[in-house]
Structure 1
Amino acid sequence: MKKFSHQSDIFELSKNRRRVVLSLILLLFLMLFSRALYLQQIKKDFLQNKGDGFSVRNEILHSYRGKIYDRNHKLLAVSSPTYDVGLTINNHIKNENIRDIATILKINEKNLQQKIKNKNKGFIYIKRSVSPESAKKISELKIAGLNLDKQYRRFYPNRESAAHIIGKTNLDGIGHEGLEKQWDSILTGEKGHKKVVIDGSRRIIDDLHDFKLPKNGSDIFTTIDSRLQHTAYESLKKYIERYEARSGSAVLVDAKNGDILVMANYPSYNPNASVTNLDTMRNRSVTDTFEPGSTLKPISIAYALEKKKVRTNEIINTNNGLLKVGRTYIRDDHPENELTIKDVIKTSSNVGASIIGTRLTPKELWGAYDKLGFGKKIHSQIPGEVSGKLRTYTAWRDIDHSRMPYGYGVSVNLLQLTQAYTIFANDGVVLKPKLYPNEEIKVGEKVISPNVSKKMRAFMQAVVEEDGGTGGKAKIPGYTVAGKTGTAKKVINGQYVNQYVASFVGMAPSNNPKFILAVMIDDPSKDSYYGGTVAAPVFKDIMKDALKLYDVPYDKELNENLMNKMVKPQTGDAKL
């Protein structure tokens, strides 16, 4: 066996082998140097263009927007996946590709060509909110630079009927009106993100595994009944068009817990489409105010009874329907020398209401209206709600004091007027309307006693059920209805004009009310402008369906032939 004298002898190579190893190392170095020189000098432009085409993008992961439901868990608003189609213009786009894109997306080919030509370079949106089916066809074209960005777009099954209460989102998915705006942050949730590598055509070529998952939005549940919402919308549309009015609104609440079942307006808009007439987007039930006219007569008279300013069986001297206040006269359409309290309400006597109401001092009458919430917001959490107007009693003149009992000189929105009538269904206590089932019932001040409340329902029942009442068109077979008509002149630029607001507010069944409904029609201009003619039929349509849907027991005989019974055209509400 060969022996080594030193450890280094083990690794010693022959001279020839050392030369071979050194030659190989030198050759490898020369190859690497040559490649680097080639890439640096000869392929410089190619590599720069290639490198410029890649970039890291922080891609947004959209959260799923929460749904909005009605009281029966029927969808009022829901998100569905759509795609925004865009194009990165780096190279020449073939005409046949442009033609294919235009055909699939159903857009004008020449307009698309011009749009691409004008941009020349960069990124453009071709069409937003494209259906998944169309997006799939676009993807199959495999056109360089074509980009599909997944989004969620809102869909509103009830279209126009619930548009004002639900609202809508804009193209970016942000709440723009209604509950969509009110609860935008809750519905939206939190967006996520992920970092990706994209090429020059905006195609994802690598995932960097740096991401945050989105947090979906929360759902909103409301007290709205979409079935009755549709009934209200269709009835408003029918009678507004019939009497050629400007607009109208209806609010229906549960008399026992304040749930808002209906808040409808006409005209309306389709939230699934773009809106050109912004005026149609107002939720007039809370944004628009009006002088309520004769619908305040039961309130002022009830408070006079409560304060013992008048007796239930008292006969009021109405002086043949004429009352002078300063230089102004208050008149009745159907003049009488004497009227009972019930007949003052039943025939809607302005003179009788003024005589009774002014027995209350301005401070007392103002106090009643203040307790009902006039002149201040209900805080319904519905966007656009206004407070109305109730001037302090110290600013009232004699004529103001005399008109306040029949609804002039004070302005309210329809939701406030509905709230005011809760005292007649809840033993004299104000009940705040609410839009959310998990919201606690809020009871306000006691304005009148249970006894006075019951008497006033009987008086208002005569308005609808007895001959000579102004509200006969609100009769519903099988149910007693208590209500009051209203016909008030409009105030424009501080002056009363010959335009009217027709209204009807009532409840049923009158002995134990389940629902309270207020209807307002703005400026009916054909055939009639009286509340009993124009607004009462809308009340009947909505209330009849509500009583039926909720299986409310009948409280009167059905043997009356109400459908064929002639109802005289109504007159007699508060006019100046």
Structure 2
Amino acid sequence: MVTRSATPVWRLWLAYAGLLLIALAIVARLYVLQVSDQERLRSWGEQISVRKEAVPAFRGSISDRNGQPLAMSTPGMSVAVDPSKAPPPGEWLSQVADAAGVDMNRLAVRFNDARDRRFMYIRRNMTPQQASRVMDLGVPGVTAIREARRFYPAGEATAHIVGFTDVDDRGREGLELAFDGFMSPKHGSRWVLVDRPQKAVRYLPGGESEAFGNDIQLTLDLDLQYATYKALKSAAIRTRSVAGSAVVIDAKTGEVLAAASFPSFNPNETRDRTPARTRPRFVADLFEPGSAIKPFTIALALEQGKLGLTEVIKTPKLFKVGRKTISDHRNYVELDPAGIIKKSSNVGTAKVALRLEPGDLADRLRLAGFSQDVGLSLPAEAAGRLPSPKRWSDIEQATLAYGYGLNANVLQLARAYTVFANDGEMRGIQLVRGLPPADPVRVFERGIAPKVLAMMGLVTEQGGTATQAKIPGYSSAGKTGTAIKAGVGGYSDESRRYDASFTGLFPASDPRLIISIVMHDPQGDQFYGGNTAAPAFADITREAARILNIRPDQAEPLVAKAAR
């Protein structure tokens, strides 16, 4: 039988000694960490910390039909301070205020109010270069935060369509507000090891992924938008108008190619954002269209057989309806339907309207989109109103025929005029690609609208009310509107307050564009649609022909001009 030999005693003592040495080493290390190196380690621990850092994602962009940016997000920075970690204000506040470009006294007040908090913004929406100037000062407790800055390259030209965001990148006006949820990003986060000056040492695992916002593309043509805004602004200055609006839509598709309001504002500057300037007047401002409604009256009477195409109507200067008197600028003696449109005769239009059944014209105007939302998704859009009395008086029926008693915005007026470009069918309006427009609506029977379009072509010819709307080489058709604004005592020329408009089709031979312009409260002697809005129509069509490559359809004026 084999037996194991006993373990030598010296080996046991050796093992005990080794364990003792290890224990002594641990005790010694703990002593160093807890006693001798305590201050150094505390200082090092104060300089290194872990924080959760936001990873900003960009808001979706807005572009025109050709991909030109109208609203975009660019890298930006905000600078903040932790009041509990900052030195006394006298040591740093003036230098930081100067580098950040903020008022020192206001910053001092804000800092004093925030002493019990752990976070206070010094300035937001800064460029990286501006933030770097602050961070280079090395003030303890001051940190830079990455954020996105919203930028609008087209400035005031597209401000009323695009709108703007607030300092937190939330939509506040225009499409920025209407599509805020669609374009808003989902910000991410990550863990980062930072040193005492709050500079990143290295990034750690973990956090949440960011998601960028969705882009939207508009039907606008930026070049045409610039031209439209320029023409509108020039007309407003020339006529000393308080405000104005202009829209350009594709006559066949209903796409909005341009929409401008005056006065405007620069969406990149917060100080410009006053209510009077940020109002998108092309959908928000309602006005009585005046004589712009006359083509619809004539078209309905022709369709119902209440008016002959060549019928002659006696048109004295004054026409009494009940106890009211309707007047023209002069005694036209007699006019056919084309003459009523060309001369813009209130008397002739009223006589035609009284042949219609009460309420028929209002119903047809409602079918043409009046008092109905255009559907642009702009928050400020106003639908307007049409009268709907239980019993129509003769004067109500007569005045509605030449544009009083209802109100509309300028885009509604342009939409309604698409019936004259599409043989009686009204097109739906589209501004945002991907959102289908409303289905077409038949307003007049086939064959009626082209006859009225030919009448409107006379308006821009010699003897018409809008000769200043014509440009060489092209035909134009349209209708002026000059409506007296109602005051406390009703309608009176003595108030000298007017809404002057022109809505036209270009070119008249085969309309590609519907352009509607209104000037609110023009001052001085120029207050008619023909000498306020019509020249702006000419300015816009001149540029539109070049931008959209629209070929001339009237060669004779060009030949005559070249011969001179």
User: What TM-score does the superposition give when structure 2 sets the normalisation length?
Assistant: 0.90
- 2-side partners of 1:125 and 1:273: how far apart? 19
**Structure 1 position 411, deviation (Å):** 0.9
2:468 corresponding residue in structure 1: 473
2:164 corresponding residue in structure 1: 168
- 2-side partners of 1:379 and 1:11: how far apart? 99
Match of 2:307 among 283, 304, 310: 310
Q: Tell me the SS of whatever aligns to 1:324.
A: strand
Match of 2:218 among 203, 207, 222: 222
- 2-side partners of 1:145 and 1:60: how far apart? 17
- 2-side partners of 1:559 and 1:399: how far apart? 46
**Structure 1 position 393, deviation (Å):** 5.0
- 1-side partners of 2:249 and 2:32: how far apart? 83
2:250 corresponding residue in structure 1: 254
Opposite residue 78 of structure 1, the aligned amino acid is: M
**Structure 1 position 10, deviation (Å):** 2.3
Q: Is the CA contact (8 Å cut-off) linking 2:89 and 2:108 kept in structure 1?
A: no
- 1-side partners of 2:63 and 2:16: how far apart? 86
1:509 corresponding residue in structure 2: 507
1:105 corresponding residue in structure 2: 100
Opposite residue 485 of structure 1, the aligned amino acid is: T
Q: How many residues align?
A: 555
Opposite residue 84 of structure 1, the aligned amino acid is: S
**Structure 1 position 362, deviation (Å):** 2.1
Q: CA-to-partner distance for each residue in 1:149-198, whole Å, 9 max, x for gaps?
A: 11111111111111001111111111111111111222223222224456
Q: Which deviates further from its counterpart, 92-101 or 325-334?
A: 92-101
1:570 corresponding residue in structure 2: none
Match of 1:277 among 274, 280, 293: 274
Q: Is the CA contact (8 Å cut-off) linking 2:87 and 2:140 kept in structure 1?
A: no
Q: Tell me the SS of whatever aligns to 1:390.
A: coil
- 2-side partners of 1:10 and 1:111: how far apart? 84
**Structure 1 position 426, deviation (Å):** 0.5
Q: Is the CA contact (8 Å cut-off) linking 2:86 and 2:139 kept in structure 1?
A: no
Structure 2 residue 65 is the aligned partner of structure 1 residue 71: yes
2:526 corresponding residue in structure 1: 528
Q: CA-to-partner distance for each residue in 1:196-244, whole Å, 9 max, x for gaps?
A: 4567765555644112221112221111111121122122212212222
**Structure 1 position 313, deviation (Å):** 0.6
Structure 2 residue 342 is the aligned partner of structure 1 residue 343: no
CA 1:98 to 1:330, structure 2 compared with 1: closer, same or farther past 3 Å?
A: same
Opposite residue 190 of structure 1, the aligned amino acid is: K
Q: Tell me the SS of whatever aligns to 1:10.
A: coil
Cα RMSD for the two superposed structures: 3.1
1:389 corresponding residue in structure 2: 385
**Structure 1 position 34, deviation (Å):** 5.9
Q: CA-to-partner distance for each residue in 1:44-86, whole Å, 9 max, x for gaps?
A: 9x96x99899876443222112221112211111111110011
CA 1:12 to 1:361, structure 2 compared with 1: closer, same or farther past 3 Å?
A: farther
- 2-side partners of 1:150 and 1:426: how far apart? 52
**Structure 1 position 22, deviation (Å):** 7.3
Q: Is the CA contact (8 Å cut-off) linking 1:465 and 1:480 kept in structure 2?
A: no
Q: Which deviates further from its counterpart, 90-99 or 170-179?
A: 90-99
1:281-430 equivalences in 2 (<5 Å): 281-318=278-315, 320-392=316-388, 394-430=390-426
Q: Which deviates further from its counterpart, 531-540 or 395-404?
A: 395-404
Q: CA-to-partner distance for each residue in 1:375-401, whole Å, 9 max, x for gaps?
A: 111212222212110132535333211
1:558 corresponding residue in structure 2: 557
2:190 corresponding residue in structure 1: 194
Opposite residue 466 of structure 2, the aligned amino acid is: G
Match of 1:540 among 538, 541, 547: 538
**Structure 1 position 331, deviation (Å):** 0.9
Structure 1 unpaired stretches of 5+: 566-576
2:74 corresponding residue in structure 1: 80
- 1-side partners of 2:152 and 2:454: how far apart? 42
Percent identical across equivalent pairs? 35
Q: Which deviates further from its counterpart, 14-23 or 61-70?
A: 14-23
Q: Which deviates further from its counterpart, 440-449 or 57-66?
A: 440-449
Opposite residue 77 of structure 2, the aligned amino acid is: Y
Opposite residue 85 of structure 1, the aligned amino acid is: V
Q: Tell me the SS of whatever aligns to 1:410.
A: coil
Q: Is the CA contact (8 Å cut-off) linking 1:358 and 1:405 kept in structure 2?
A: no
Structure 2 residue 238 is the aligned partner of structure 1 residue 236: no
Match of 1:451 among 447, 450, 455: 447
CA 1:205 to 1:528, structure 2 compared with 1: closer, same or farther past 3 Å?
A: same
- 2-side partners of 1:20 and 1:190: how far apart? 62
- 2-side partners of 1:201 and 1:493: how far apart? 67
Q: Tell me the SS of whatever aligns to 1:411.
A: coil
**Structure 1 position 533, deviation (Å):** 0.9
CA 1:11 to 1:266, structure 2 compared with 1: closer, same or farther past 3 Å?
A: farther
CA 1:148 to 1:521, structure 2 compared with 1: closer, same or farther past 3 Å?
A: same
- 1-side partners of 2:443 and 2:14: how far apart? 114
Q: CA-to-partner distance for each residue in 1:388-423, whole Å, 9 max, x for gaps?
A: 101325353332111111011111111110011001
Q: Which deviates further from its counterpart, 552-561 or 165-174?
A: 552-561
Q: Tell me the SS of whatever aligns to 2:339.
A: helix
1:139 corresponding residue in structure 2: 135
Q: Tell me the SS of whatever aligns to 1:458.
A: helix
Q: Is the CA contact (8 Å cut-off) linking 2:459 and 2:467 kept in structure 1?
A: yes
CA 1:37 to 1:505, structure 2 compared with 1: closer, same or farther past 3 Å?
A: closer
CA 1:391 to 1:13, structure 2 compared with 1: closer, same or farther past 3 Å?
A: farther
Q: Is the CA contact (8 Å cut-off) linking 2:86 and 2:142 kept in structure 1?
A: no
Q: Tell me the SS of whatever aligns to 2:359.
A: helix
Structure 2 residue 480 is the aligned partner of structure 1 residue 482: no
Structure 2 unpaired stretches of 5+: none
